[in-house]
Amino acid sequence: MIEIKGLTKLFGKKPVVEDVSITIEPGTITSFIGPNGAGKSTLLSMVSRLLDADTGEVLLDRNNVKKWNSSEFAKRVSILKQANHINVRLTVRELVAFGRYPYSKGRLTSADEQFVDQAIAYMNLGEMQDKFLDELSGGQKQRAFIAMVIAQDTEYILLDEPLNNLDMKHSVQIMKILRNLVDELGKTVIIVLHDINFASVYSDRIVALKNGRLVKDGPTHEIIKTDSLRDIFDMDIPIQDQNGCRICVYFNS
């Protein structure tokens, strides 16, 4: 279990995240939503300890994340930031194999190879596994990075806006994969999303931030409501039900 307790981060004197406390339930998808500059990515970075908090703490299994041994932590929690700018020429398979780094330090055992094979198969990358990353499209590249995270085989998978620069088809594909990771493999996914409808359709729980503060935290169906959304986005957004999916029609509100 990941517990976030009273987390605050200052950039200069300005708080970008202020006194946020939430608990992440295992086996769910939790989406962080909110306007630009709400502190979603900063919060995610602190949870994955890429950033140090100024006050407050993040606990993984009741132990402060800062106290975890870095390899052990990397076997439990993985984070994928916006990865499109990585300019290293690796093949898909080499990249995915680096997901095993916390376990093997680069000397892959046959068990590691199996994880790599499975991750590649799971993300449907078999045919392009020997291609260089810079030969792939944005969607394929994103899939390769997610395959790496799958090979890392962590209980918690944190993603920072993984749908950025992806077209509709690939966005849906990625979200379905994340849903499957939770439903089939029992992973816990925490994701920063820009598109509220993807959050609505795919997540179990929504955490909404605004100006660095937590404004809403609850099951998806409680947050995707006109009143709640008004508190988050300052907009009146009508909700439509489409075969059980609640769609926010914000385009002309």
Partner 1 sequence: MRLWIVIVAAVLLSFVSLFLGAIDIKISDLVNGDTDKIDIFLVSRVPRLMAIILAGAGMSIAGLIMQSLSRNKFVSPTTAGTLDAAKLGILISMLFFTNVTYTGQILFSFAFALAGTFVFMQILDRIKFKDVIFVPLIGIMYGNILSSITTFFAYEADLLQNISAWLMGSFTLVISGRYELLYISVPALVLAYLYANKFTVAGMGEDFAKNLGLSYKAVMNIGLVLVAIISTTVVLTVGVIPFLGLIVPNIVSLYLGDNLRKTIPHTAAMGVVFLLVCDIIGRIVIHPYEIPVNVTVAVIGSAIFLVMLIRGRAYAKK
Binding site for partner 1 (CB under 8 A): 45, 48-50, 70-75, 78-81, 83, 86-91, 94, 98-99, 101-102, 105-106, 132, 134, 152
Shortest gap between Cβ of 122 and partner 1 (angstroms)? Answer: 19
Strands (E), 35-161: 55-60, 63-64, 77-80, 156-160
Shortest gap between Cβ of 39 and partner 1 (angstroms)? Answer: 17
Shortest gap between Cβ of 109 and partner 1 (angstroms)? Answer: 14
Q: Which residues contact 166 (CB under 8 A, 6 or more apart)?
A: 138, 139, 142, 174
Cβ atoms within 10 Å of 218's Cβ, excluding its own: 12
Q: Of 12 and 106, which has the nearer Cβ to partner 1? A: 106
Q: Of 8 and 91, which has the nearer Cβ to partner 1? A: 91
Shortest gap between Cβ of 74 and partner 1 (angstroms)? Answer: 3
Q: Of 9 and 49, which has the nearer Cβ to partner 1? A: 49
Q: Of 87 and 243, which has the nearer Cβ to partner 1? A: 87
Shortest gap between Cβ of 102 and partner 1 (angstroms)? Answer: 5
Contact between 150 and 186 under an 8 Å Cβ cutoff? The reply is no
Q: How many CA atoms lie within 13 A of 191 on its CB side?
A: 30
Shortest gap between Cβ of 100 and partner 1 (angstroms)? Answer: 9
Q: Which residues contact 211 (CB under 8 A, 6 or more apart)?
A: 18, 37, 38, 39
State which amino acid sits at residue 133.
L
Q: Of 47 and 201, which has the nearer Cβ to partner 1? A: 47
Cβ atoms within 10 Å of 14's Cβ, excluding its own: 9
Q: Of 93 and 205, which has the nearer Cβ to partner 1? A: 93
Alpha-carbon Rg for the chain in angstroms: 18
